[in-house]
Each structure stands twice: as C-alpha cells, then as structure tokens.
Amino acid sequence: MARIRGIIFDIDGTLVDSNDAHAHAWQQAMAEYGYDVSFDRIRPLIGMGGDKVLPELLGIQKDSEPGSKIDRRRSQLFKERYLPHLRAFPGAMKLLRYLHNHGFILAIATSSKPDEMNSPEHY
C-alpha cells in the first residue's frame, strides 16, 4: 500500500470559515443588479467558482457584460465587508503544523481570486 506523502487542502470552507461570506457577497452583488436570489440557493454552490455560479443561478456567463459586472462587485463586497472578519476554523493551524512536523507535504487550492487571497493576516 502506498504511503500518503502530501495533502492538498481547500481554503474556503475547509481551513477558513468563509463559505457564508462568499454566499452573502454573491447575493448582495446580484441584488444590486436586479436579481433576487435567495441565500439558500447560492450557499450550496460556493466553491464552484463564478464561472459556474452565474450560469446556474442567472443563466448568464461570467465573462458576459452583466456577469463581469456582478463578479467584480461580488469581489469588491467580499474584500470590503467580509474578508477583514474571516478567521481560520478552530484547530486549522494546529492541524497544519502537526502534519508539517510529521513530514507531510502540504499544499492549498482555491477558486478565489489572487487579490482575495493576499491578506493572510485575516486568517
């Protein structure tokens, strides 16, 4: 049996308690552009990326004019209203340190935009 040498962690919803924040930002951005979508419809889609969320909920592509506007606004709302308040899940850092100290190679993955990830002091 092969020995596990490395682990890939997702950030949102795995290491950082951010899924609700992403859903609220999507909901608010859509509402500002005239789309009334409930939080309960958005929340299960978090983690898919905007290229899948917008077609699923609104039937528009992320790279279309309205899709681009909504996505930019969502990102702005997320960074301004939610990112400063996000925290890692309890025990996340302890787990990562433990695994690192026991020789595991650790990596992270995310569908978040790079500018949404450049504030590690919030985690």
25 falls within a domain: yes
Q: What is the phi/psi pair of residue 10, to 5°?
A: -80, 150
Say how many domains are in the chain: 1
44 falls within a domain: yes
1 falls within a domain: no
76 falls within a domain: yes
pLDDT, residue 118, reads 61
pLDDT at 46 over 60: yes
Q: What is the pTM of this model?
A: 0.85
pLDDT in tens, 56-112: 999 999 999 999 999 999 999 999 999 999 999 999 999 999 999 999 999 998 877
In percent, the amount of the chain with pLDDT more than 70 equals 94
- Domain hosting 60: range is 6-122
Mean pLDDT of 13-30: 96
18 falls within a domain: yes
